[in-house]
Amino acid sequence: MKYELIDSKMTAILPFTLFVFPALLEELFFRGVLIPRNVVDSGRKKTFKAIGLSTLAFVLWHPANALLLNGSAIPLFLDSWFLVIVAALGITCGYSYAVSRSIWVPVIIHWATVTVWVIFLGGRNLVLGQ
């Protein structure tokens, strides 16, 4: 597989687009709604449970998204290794939200991860089937 900067008219606006969706909107729901802001005050067990449930929902969202909304992403979003990476991102974002109590920390982590993947590592082509 060849990794290179994407050559598209959209390259200039992709970082902004990726900031809104998936980063901001997904983090607002999967972390901001599903994990109580002060979950750490409830103890380690409740924190791990909240992060785990949020991550599970986040992982399940990707195949559902592909099957219901973005058919070109089916091969990628149903790939088990991709879902392992999604789970790792979900755990990282969940933990960062629980510890920082700020939605902006997981938004930036999510945005940076997806932006690098899409612009530099061929992610756009994988999602769009190009």
pLDDT in tens, the chain (130 residues): 555 666 667 778 989 999 999 999 999 999 999 999 999 999 999 999 999 999 999 999 999 999 999 999 999 999 999 999 999 999 999 999 999 999 999 999 999 999 999 888 888 766 655 5
Q: Which domain holds residue 106?
A: 14-128
Domain count, the chain: 1
Question: Is position 101 within any domain?
Answer: yes
- Output DSSP code: residue 30: I
Whose tokens are 């612009």? That residue is 119
Q: Is 6 among the domain residues?
A: no
Question: What's the half-sphere exposure (Cβ side, CA atoms, 13 Å) at 6?
Answer: 22
Q: What per-residue confidence (pLDDT) applies to 123? A: 83
Buried b (16+ CB within 10 A) or exposed e, 107-125: bbbbbebbbebbbeebbbe
Q: Tell the burial category of 45 from Cβ atoms under 10 Å away from its Cβ (0-12, 13-18, 19+).
A: exposed
* pLDDT score of 77: 95
Q: What is the pTM of this model?
A: 0.92
